[in-house]
């Protein structure tokens, strides 16, 4: 009950064209254009729903919103009360915002690091199935998770674990925590860092071959591969990472495990079973990657 999955992420980006080119040529995901108020927005359909990633033209690269799907209006009301009791101001989304999200209900608040977090009920289907490369099997299948790094780690953990009721799956000392809201290993990870940033977004694929073909396309299109192919120790996903036009990572992955309610949180030790060599310094080298 409560939050059931990661719904979407909106980003302010300085180069929408570079983002859509990256997704089109490397992942086979085309963008559609919509409008909210006076602003155009590029929507990336990663699965059968309206969109999972929204790109807003801006003078800066920054997170615009994080959207979590709540399973009913009753649960949305319950979580709203918990947020207010915890000191958060909760607002209703505008009619235009609700329409764009494909939702029936929406509320939002500002998290401890200044990001807008939205809670929505309902997801509308895409008008048509998203196009995919002819060799996809099935290719991109969704938005899996994101990693948020911040000096306000304790406050973020309090929000997500105590107020929004995420469960701790595992961690790596001293400052990296993986949290879940459904059976997927994690939908968000929180990390200690000197400045607040999104470390990466993970784009899920339907097979290891799809990850491999995306890797081939990235090389052919000279997309910077920031972290090489590898397999994570904790969620067992096989993936590689590319540097996106806003400067952080996209993880292209497949095969993350699911966990049951009786899963015991634990320190999972080293970060990878194999691979995941970093092209630049790893900010989590002392704890995890």
Instruction: Give per-10-residue mean pLDDT for the chain (289 aa).
Output: 95 97 94 88 94 96 97 98 98 96 97 98 86 85 97 98 98 95 98 96 97 96 96 98 96 97 95 94 60
Q: Is the peptide bond between 213 and the residue preceding it cis, with omega within 30 degrees of 0?
A: no
pLDDT of residue 13: 97
The Cα 205–Cα 1 span in angstroms is 27
The Cα 227–Cα 277 span in angstroms is 5
pTM for the full predicted model: 0.95
User: Which CATH class name applies to 140-275?
Assistant: alpha beta
pLDDT of residue 287: 43
pLDDT of residue 114: 97
> Measured on CA atoms in the order 38, 44, 109, 191, is the torsion positive or negative?
negative
CATH topology of domain 3-121: 2,3-Dihydroxybiphenyl 1,2-Dioxygenase; domain 1 (3.10.180)
Looking only at the bridges linking them, the beta strands covering 116-121 and 62-70 are parallel
pLDDT of residue 68: 98
Write phi, then psi, for 180 (nearest 5 degrees).
-130, 155
Residues in the chain: 289
pLDDT of residue 39: 85
As a whole number of Å, the CA-based R_g of the chain is 18
Domain with CATH 3.10.180.10 in the chain: 3-121, 140-275
């Amino acid at each position: 009950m409560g939050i059931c999955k990661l719904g979407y992420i909106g980003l302010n980006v300085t180069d929408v064209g570079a983002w859509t080119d990256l997704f089109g040529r490397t992942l086979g995901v085309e963008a559609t254009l919509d409008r909210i108020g006076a602003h155009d927005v590029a929507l990336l359909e990663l699965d059968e729903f309206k969109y999972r990633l929204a790109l807003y033209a801006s003078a800066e690269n920054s997170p615009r919103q994080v959207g979590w799907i709540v399973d009913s209006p009753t649960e949305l009301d319950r979580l709203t009360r918990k947020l207010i009791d915890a000191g958060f101001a909760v607002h209703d989304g505008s009619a235009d915002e609700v329409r764009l999200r494909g939702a029936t209900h929406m509320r939002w608040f500002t998290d401890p690091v200044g990001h807008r977090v939205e809670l929505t009920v309902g997801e509308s289907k895409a008008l048509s199935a998203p196009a995919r490369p002819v060799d996809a099997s099935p290719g991109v299948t969704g938005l899996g998770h994101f990693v948020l790094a911040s000096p306000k780690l304790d406050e973020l953990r309090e929000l997500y674990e105590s107020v929004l009721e995420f469960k701790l799956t595992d961690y790596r000392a001293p400052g990296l925590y993986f949290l879940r809201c459904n059976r997927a290993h994690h939908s968000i990870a929180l990390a200690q860092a000197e400045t607040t940033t999104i470390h990466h977004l993970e784009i899920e694929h339907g097979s290891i071959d799809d990850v491999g073909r995306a890797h081939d396309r990235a090389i052919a299109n000279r997309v910077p591969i920031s972290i090489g192919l590898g397999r994570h120790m904790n969620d067992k996903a096989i993936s590689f990472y590319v540097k996106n036009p806003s400067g952080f990572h996209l993880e292209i992955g497949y095969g993350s495990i699911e966990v049951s309610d009786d899963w015991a949180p634990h320190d999972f030790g080293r970060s990878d079973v194999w691979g995941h060599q970093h092209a630049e310094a790893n900010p989590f080298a002392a704890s995890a990657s």
